Amino acid sequence: MSERGPAVVGRSLRLAIGTLTAIPVPAVTRVSPTIATGAMVLAPVAALPLGLLVGAIVWAGAQATIPPLAVALVALGALALGSRALHLDGLSDVADGLTASYDRERSLAVMKSGTAGPAGVVAIVIVLGAQAAALATYVDDVRSAVIAGLAVCASRAALWITCATGVPSARPDGLGSTFTERVPGWWTLLGWAGLVAAALLVDTWRGPVAVALAALVVLLLVGRAVRRFGGVTGDVFGAAIELALATLLIGLANA
């Protein structure tokens, strides 16, 4: 990469925050390949404010003895607002695209329309329901709240897979095309291996298994997208994040 230095890191982080969250930051007017790569690599870091928000709500709910499921739903609602619900929209669009037609162009057109069909609604209900049911078990103590917040950040590592080199873009336009094939394969492997190792601190066997399963779920989604759509899109990015989060929350519940 030709660009170096703290300024590039700063622009990459701003791009990641501006793209993945609703936090207002100065716009990055020129997105070079290096900055696009940095933005995706720093995606979990950009999600730290959202992780802190979810963790704070979970902990506060436990102190106030509010029903755990209600706390979980509020936390997930705040997370959706904090990300402009872009990832949920991607999940809905991918579900509609996969069920609309076996024709690639028809599926991509359905995904680009932005409207939620029956499959998209069902996907959101099931995935959000799974996230809420799992997150309710974290409404306990500070440790559980911290794990919940970290799961939010770690779920953004799904982008290390969806944006890995060798994973093609389904179309030349759209948000996804800016970031497709920007994350080096070695970083994807090293980054996820690091997450698996870090998960040992949560639980010596459930932690690594949960992270490995999250990576597997994202890989399966990407494989399906490549076969059906010819590659990935921004919607696939969002769906991958939501599925990774659900897998992590379920896998780490009561750890």
> What is the residue-level pLDDT of the chain in tens, covering all 255 positions?
345 567 889 999 999 999 999 999 998 988 899 999 999 999 999 999 999 999 999 999 999 989 999 999 999 999 999 999 999 999 999 999 999 878 888 989 888 887 888 999 999 999 999 999 999 999 999 999 999 999 999 999 999 999 999 999 998 876 678 899 999 999 999 999 999 999 999 999 999 999 999 999 999 999 999 999 999 999 999 999 999 999 999 999 988
3-state SS class at 25: coil
Backbone angles phi, psi at 134, to 5 degrees: -70, -45
Nearest by Cα to 249 from 149, 121, 143: 149
For residues 244 and 128, the answer to whether their CB atoms sit within 8 Å is no
If you count them, how many residues does the chain have? 255
**Chain-centroid distance, C-alpha 160:** 10
Cα distance between residue 17 and residue 168, in whole Å: 24
Rg (alpha carbons) of the chain, rounded to whole number: 18
Nearest by Cα to 157 from 254, 248, 26: 248
